[in-house]
Chain A
């Protein structure tokens, strides 16, 4: 598939179904914030869920179900409009990510991972799936590597090139085990910040790359 920087539909469907891991769900939700058309598609996919709920064979509830719920209504005040509207306006990050890290990018503890590169690990799941943020200085060349699993990279700031393809803010790059000799080059100028989900450790090519791999945590 030709990369257009948008995530393929199957991920939107799986997001809607609730079938994505925490890392992938966050990446998809954050990505969709940049593209209203993706939000619309997600909603269409969630309509499938709505239709399922509407059409499922109803089952009986316990006899006191309604009374229980009614009693709880007395003690639960109505929630007004989205609580965090105010905070969100002050954050430059897309809302799902802002909610998730609950601070600004500069408040995070960035760890050096190589020349011009630093990272923050956000989450590690089963099978060593990882969600992390990558920050790279303008002009940095990321060490050449292959992938043994899927990697999804969402650009939050700046941009980078892989061969002919230029990835800019809001776009996603997908790399899988067929992606070899992967060597992103960060655009000159401002820092590039990406949200990344890595499904399996990537394989670095160079000797120095292999040496630093345990330290940089890729």
Chain B
């Protein structure tokens, strides 16, 4: 198994929140996604232009327990996971602690991550969601068993799939902005407030059936958008 043939300049890795702004959002062209998702990571490619994705880094953690790879994953995701947890309503202290827990879990469960089955951002979202529910409701969120069997580890030189995965994450974001405001609202209340259908119905003073159909339509619109892009 080869190591990733790229040198990463640690100085450019934002570790305490000074993460540069995303370059652009309007046009998720392949090139933009490519850059924006690797923000802050100055990858000076060696002879060949293997580029390192966060997915590659997690595979490297899984195989080699590579701390350097971990630091980079941490630099990208920890400030975002904390931000998401703050939006869910945790105070700064708890959000910080839980974000740290999430990243420790990434280290522990790295071997279970399979880029063929899930995008890294989705995998980390799941860990964050479950830990949040664990903490706030003292409850284990029943997991859909997405990883029935761990398939063979993808070698980092097969960069096609991980790169594509990162692009899709940005496509989802851009698809979100195309939803109408009503649809965006129910999706946000679901993901940021974890409101049930009946809670959204009460919150927006809408009939339950309307809430359900809005969520359904929003999801269909997102899937359509993604289907076109793929």
A interface residue numbers (CB < 8 A to B): 8-10, 12-15, 17-22, 24-26, 28-30, 32-33, 39, 41-63, 65-66, 68-70, 72-73, 76-82, 95-96, 99-100
Segment touching A, from B1-9, B44-52, B156-164, B220-228:
B220-228
Rounded to whole angstroms, the CA-CA distance of A50 and B25 in the bound complex is 16
The answer to whether B173 and A56 have CB atoms under 8 Å apart is no
A-B residue pair count with CB separations less than 8 angstroms: 215
The answer to whether B176 and A48 have CB atoms under 8 Å apart is yes
Q: How far is the CB of A79 from chain B (nearest CB, A)?
A: 5
B187-209 contact mask (Cβ, 8 Å, vs A): 1 or 0: 10011111111000000000000
Rounded to whole angstroms, the CA-CA distance of A30 and B219 in the bound complex is 21
The answer to whether A61 and B99 have CB atoms under 8 Å apart is yes
The answer to whether A50 and B144 have CB atoms under 8 Å apart is no
Which residues on A sit within 8 Å (CB–CB) of B65? 78
B102-136 contact mask (Cβ, 8 Å, vs A): 1 or 0: 01100111111000001111111110111011000
Q: How far is the CB of A130 from chain B (nearest CB, A)?
A: 15
The A interface is mostly helix, strand or loop, or mixed, namely helix
The answer to whether A53 and B80 have CB atoms under 8 Å apart is yes
Is B142 among interface residues, defined by CB-CB distance under 8 A? yes
The answer to whether B17 and A59 have CB atoms under 8 Å apart is yes
B interface residue numbers (CB < 8 A to A): 14-19, 22, 25, 37, 62, 65, 67, 70-71, 74, 77-84, 86-87, 96, 99-100, 103-104, 107-112, 118-126, 128-130, 132-133, 137, 139, 141-147, 150, 168-170, 172-173, 176, 187, 190-197, 211-213, 215-216, 218-220, 222-223, 226
Q: How far is the CB of B133 from chain A (nearest CB, A)?
A: 6
The answer to whether A8 and B216 have CB atoms under 8 Å apart is yes
Q: How far is the CB of B141 from chain A (nearest CB, A)?
A: 6
8 Å CB contact of A47 from B17, B67, B119, B133: B119
Rounded to whole angstroms, the CA-CA distance of A82 and B197 in the bound complex is 32
The answer to whether A82 and B17 have CB atoms under 8 Å apart is no
The answer to whether B144 and A42 have CB atoms under 8 Å apart is yes
The answer to whether A43 and B190 have CB atoms under 8 Å apart is no
Q: How far is the CB of A177 from chain B (nearest CB, A)?
A: 10
- Pick 11 A–B contacts, CB within 8 A, sort by A: A10-B197, A10-B219, A47-B122, A51-B173, A52-B191, A54-B173, A56-B83, A61-B79, A66-B15, A78-B108, A100-B142
Q: How far is the CB of B72 from chain A (nearest CB, A)?
A: 11
The answer to whether B194 and A50 have CB atoms under 8 Å apart is no
The B interface is mostly helix, strand or loop, or mixed, namely helix
Rounded to whole angstroms, the CA-CA distance of A55 and B83 in the bound complex is 10
Rounded to whole angstroms, the CA-CA distance of A47 and B187 in the bound complex is 13
Measured CB to CB, the nearest residue on chain A to B75 is A66
The answer to whether B104 and A29 have CB atoms under 8 Å apart is no
The answer to whether A81 and B150 have CB atoms under 8 Å apart is yes
Measured CB to CB, the nearest residue on chain B to A51 is B172
Rounded to whole angstroms, the CA-CA distance of A76 and B100 in the bound complex is 13
8 Å CB contact of A10 from B108, B139, B194, B216: B216
Given A9-B219, A69-B103, 11 more pairs with CB closer than 8 A? A10-B213, A10-B219, A19-B196, A22-B137, A29-B145, A43-B122, A48-B187, A50-B125, A52-B125, A72-B104, A81-B112
Leading 3 A-B pairs by shortest Cβ distance: A60-B17, A50-B122, A50-B121
Which residues on B sit within 8 Å (CB–CB) of A20? 196
8 Å CB contact of A61 from B78, B168, B211: B78
Rounded to whole angstroms, the CA-CA distance of A47 and B84 in the bound complex is 14
Which residues on A sit within 8 Å (CB–CB) of B17? 58-61
The answer to whether B74 and A66 have CB atoms under 8 Å apart is yes
Rounded to whole angstroms, the CA-CA distance of A52 and B147 in the bound complex is 22
The answer to whether A79 and B112 have CB atoms under 8 Å apart is yes
Measured CB to CB, the nearest residue on chain B to A22 is B139
Which residues on B sit within 8 Å (CB–CB) of A46? 118, 122, 125-126
The answer to whether A78 and B104 have CB atoms under 8 Å apart is no
